[in-house]
Amino acid sequence: MTPAPLHLGLVFGGVSGEHGISIRSANTVAAALRRGANAERYRLSCFYIDRKGHWWPPTVAEAVLAKGSPAEPADLAGAPSRPGFQGFPAGALDVQVWVPVLHGPNGEDGTIQGLFALMQVPFVGSGVLGSAVGMDKQAMKAAFAAAGLPQVAYACVDAAELQHPEPLLDRLEQQLGYPAFVKPANLGSSVGISKATTRAELLAGLIEAARHDPRLVVEQGVTARELECAVLGNRQLKASVLGEIRFDADWYDYTTKYSEGLSHTVIPADVPASLAERARQLAIAACRAVGAAGLARVDFFYEQATDQLWLNEINTLPGFTSQSMYPMLWEASGLPLEELVHELVELAQESDAPHRGGVDAA
């Protein structure tokens, strides 16, 4: 007898500045799970989390996906008056494996992973620890440092230091100099990030970043190429070919990242084979350092003149939009999108679920 299709629950949207990007990613993933052999393997139900944190059933979710943009209040008749999670919509408790396609806070940071873990239902991606450490740039950099992995010079800042900023600015100028990049610790997609070349720009950047998160990171600016590597697996991690992001802007900001024609990718990256292998090993080491598994994209800075390779960051729920590197890197490595999402679901179901508590170093 043919086994019944596995019931998957794809959840997207979320209370995050990356809500719109999540919708674009969800459309790609949903289409791949409904094509080819996956159409026989899986029965897919989509669930939408609106900007206030309310969960909505497949009828609303499919309408949002078809429109390709966030639901408006008029589309959400009967929404609870209070924000936040108010319970599951019909059908959610029948899901056998969850597929979170959520970016940023409240989806990529371990919160929803904790909910799925309490439900004792398998889910795609890192567990609570890997998600939380991978999301918070201060914790991520501390984990990388503890593992002895190379990074550009950086400093951690608490927003409370901005009440009397002069000592802070003195410290950052002495420690890092200019240019410097100011980042909120817990946002992705370049949201809230700025480049500072003067003391006034540094202060303005810190104030802007603090609007998004009280935990901040300031990094020393380097002139470098931006390389990326995709990682897949639980105990046994494998890394893709390398890709390179090229762009004409001063740096890879939100507008450049998500606007057609402002950046392009080169896959595989035009780098020596020895460097590509070094980056792949470093990508796997980065995943192990933060306890990430399932899927991750690891980003690097490469200074060609000195052959210096630095870790930039890890993303434990990378995008799946038409411009996203993660699926393109695996496509170039011989794993097409339909088989990639199938493998992610297979990894989620591994009986010992090693990625719930971290990744073995062996």
Same domain membership, residue 50 and residue 163: no
| CATH number of the domain residue 260 falls in | 3.30.470.20
**CATH number for the domain including 59?**
3.40.50.20
Cis peptide before 268 (omega within 30 of 0): yes
- Residue 26 CA to its chain's centroid (Å): 13
Same domain for 230 and 205: no
Give yes or no for a contact between 65 and 320, defined as CB atoms under 8 angstroms apart: no
Q: Is residue 113 part of a domain?
A: no
> Are residues 139 and 278 both part of a single domain?
yes
Provide CB contacts within 8 A for 287, sequence distance 6+.
Answer: 130, 231, 237, 293, 296, 298, 314, 359
The whole-angstrom separation of Cα 294 and Cα 238 is 10
Domain boundary among 202, 220, 238: 220
Q: Which residue has the higher pLDDT, 82 or 187?
A: 82
Instruction: Quote the CA–CA distance of 123 and 360 in Å, as a whole number.
Output: 19
271 in the same domain as 145: yes
Domain CATH code at residue 189: 3.30.1490.20
Residue 130 resides in a domain: no
Residue percentage of the chain with pLDDT more than 90: 84
Give the end of a domain, one of 220, 248, 275: 220
Q: Where are the alpha helices (DSSP H) in the chain?
A: 19-33, 38-41, 58-67, 111-119, 128-135, 137-146, 165-175, 199-212, 254-258, 273-290, 325-332, 337-348
pLDDT confidence bin for 3, thresholds 50/70/90: confident
The 6-13 sheet, strands edge to edge = 55-56, 42-49, 6-13, 97-101
Residue-level pLDDT at 360: 41
Q: Which domain holds residue 276?
A: 135-149+223-356
Q: How does pLDDT run across 31-53, given as a tens digit for each residue?
A: 999 999 999 999 999 999 999 99
**Upstream peptide bond of 179 is cis (omega within 30 degrees of 0):** yes
319 and 235 in a single domain? The answer is yes
| Average pLDDT of span 353-358 | 46
Tokens of 235: 């105990």
- The residue written with tokens 């919160």 in the block is 111
At 94-108, the pLDDT tens digits run 999 999 999 988 999
Alpha-carbon distance of 95 to 92, in angstroms, equals 6
Give the pLDDT of residue 354.
44
**Is the domain of 15 the same as that of 96?**
yes
My answer on whether 165 and 143 are in the same domain is no
Same domain, 187 and 235: no
The answer to whether 216 touches 183, Cβ cutoff 8 Å, is: yes
Task: Compute the radius of gyration of the chain from its Cα atoms.
Answer: 20
Cβ neighbour number for residue 217 with a 10 Å cutoff: 23
Q: Residue 361 domain-assigned?
A: no
- Rounded Cα distance between 109 and 147, Å, is 21
Q: Are residues 145 and 250 in the same domain?
A: yes
CA 2 vs CA 24, 40, 321, 337: distances in Å: 33, 10, 33, 24
Residue 129 counted as domain residue: no
Residue pair 252/245 in contact by the 8 Å Cβ criterion: yes
Nearest of 108, 105, 127 to residue 116 by alpha carbon: 127
In a domain, 123, yes or no: no
Q: What is the dihedral of CA 60, 63, 69, 74, to 10 degrees?
A: -60
201 lies in some domain? yes
> What's the rounded mean pLDDT across residues 156-169?
97
Average pLDDT, the chain: 92
pTM of the model: 0.91
For 282-329, what is each residue's pLDDT tens digit?
999 999 999 999 999 999 999 999 999 999 999 999 999 988 999 999
User: What number is the average pLDDT over the span 13-31?
Assistant: 95
Q: What is the DSSP string of 188-208?
A: -TTTT-EEESSHHHHHHHHHH
pLDDT score for 261:
60
Confidence of residue 355 (pLDDT cuts 50, 70, 90): very low
Tell me, what's the pLDDT at 323? Answer: 85
Domain contains 115? no
Q: Are 195 and 103 in the same domain? A: no
Domain count, the chain: 3
Residues 6 or more apart whose CB falls under 8 angstroms from that of 248 comprise: 262, 263
CA distance readout (Å), 112 to 7, 119, 255: 19, 11, 28
Evaluate whether residue 177 is within a structural domain.
yes
Q: Tell me: do 288 and 142 sit in the same domain.
A: yes
pLDDT value of residue 191: 72
Q: Are 235 and 354 in contact (CB under 8 A)?
A: yes
Q: Are residues 214 and 329 in the same domain?
A: no
Residue 263 has pLDDT above 80, yes or no: no
Is the CA virtual torsion 3, 331, 150, 277 positive or negative? Answer: positive
Are 96 and 3 in contact, with CB atoms under 8 Å apart?
no
